Amino acid sequence: MRRTLQQAAKALPVFTRHQTAIQAAPASSARPPICVYPSAPHSNQHQPHGLAHLLVVAAGSLIAYELVSSRGRRRPGHAESVDEPAAAALKDSPAPRATDAPSLSLTTSVKEGESDSPLVEGGKYEVPRHVDDFPEAMQKLYSELRGVLGDRASVDMDEREPYRKDNWTYHKGEVPYIVVYPESTEEVSAILSRCNRLRIPVVAYGCGTSIEGHTVPVIPGVVINMMNMSEIVAVHEDDCDVVVQAGVQWMELNELLADTGLFFPIDPGPGASIGGMIGTRCSGTNAVRYGTMKDWVLQLTVVLADGRVVKTGTRARKDSAGYDLTRLFVGSEGTLGIVTEATLKLAARPADECVAVCGFPTVKDACKCVSSLIKAGIPVACVELLSADTAKLLNDDQDCGLEVKPTIFFKFTGTSNQVQECIETTQKMASRFGGSRLVFRMKENGESEKLWAARKGVYWSLGSQRPGKELWGTDVCVPLGRLPDVVEETQKDFAELGVEAPLIAHAGDGNFHLLIPLDFSDPEQMKRAQEANSRMIARAIAAGGTCTGEHGVGMGKKQYLLQHYPQETLEVMRSIKKTLDPNNILNPGKIFLD
Ligand X SMILES: Cc1cc2nc3c(=O)[nH]c(=O)nc-3n(C[C@H](O)[C@H](O)[C@H](O)COP(=O)(O)OP(=O)(O)OC[C@H]3O[C@@H](n4cnc5c(N)ncnc54)[C@H](O)[C@@H]3O)c2cc1C
> Which residues of this protein are in contact with ligand X, per CB under 6 A?
45, 168, 203-211, 214-215, 226, 246, 268-269, 272-273, 275-277, 279-280, 282-284, 333-334, 338-339, 459, 550-551, 587
Comparison of 115 and 273: residue with beta carbon closer to ligand X = 273
In 485-541 the beta strands, taken as DSSP E runs, fall at 503-506, 511-518
Please give the span between the terminal C-alpha atoms of the chain, in angstroms, as a whole number: 45
| Contacts of 132 by beta carbon, 8 Å cutoff, 6+ apart | none
In angstroms, give the least distance from the CB of 190 to ligand X.
16
In angstroms, give the least distance from the CB of 548 to ligand X.
9
In 39-162 the beta strands, taken as DSSP E runs, fall at 53-59, 62-68, 74-76, 80-81, 153-154
In angstroms, give the least distance from the CB of 294 to ligand X.
11
Q: Are the C-beta atoms of residues 359 and 401 closer than 8 Å to each other?
A: no
Bridge partners, residue 21, by sequence: 37
How many Cβ atoms are within 10 Å of 359's Cβ, its own excluded?
Answer: 23
Comparison of 26 and 334: residue with beta carbon closer to ligand X = 334
Comparison of 206 and 484: residue with beta carbon closer to ligand X = 206
Comparison of 162 and 269: residue with beta carbon closer to ligand X = 269
Centroid of chain to Cα 494: 25
Comparison of 269 and 359: residue with beta carbon closer to ligand X = 269
In angstroms, give the least distance from the CB of 579 to ligand X.
17
Between the alpha carbon of residue 272 and those of residues 102, 243, 279, 294, the distances in Å are: 31, 17, 11, 16
Among residues 234, 233, 223, 232, the alpha carbon closest in space to that of 200 is found at 223
Among residues 418, 424, 414, 420, the alpha carbon closest in space to that of 373 is found at 424
In angstroms, give the least distance from the CB of 385 to ligand X.
13
Comparison of 338 and 532: residue with beta carbon closer to ligand X = 338
In angstroms, give the least distance from the CB of 51 to ligand X.
14
Between the alpha carbon of residue 370 and those of residues 194, 376, 479, the distances in Å are: 52, 10, 12
Report the alpha-carbon distance of residue 270 to residue 45 in Å, rounded: 6
Comparison of 362 and 413: residue with beta carbon closer to ligand X = 413
Comparison of 244 and 429: residue with beta carbon closer to ligand X = 244
In angstroms, give the least distance from the CB of 139 to ligand X.
25
Instruction: Specify burial of residue 277 (Cβ count, 10 A radius: 0-12, 13-18, 19+).
Output: buried
In angstroms, give the least distance from the CB of 211 to ligand X.
5
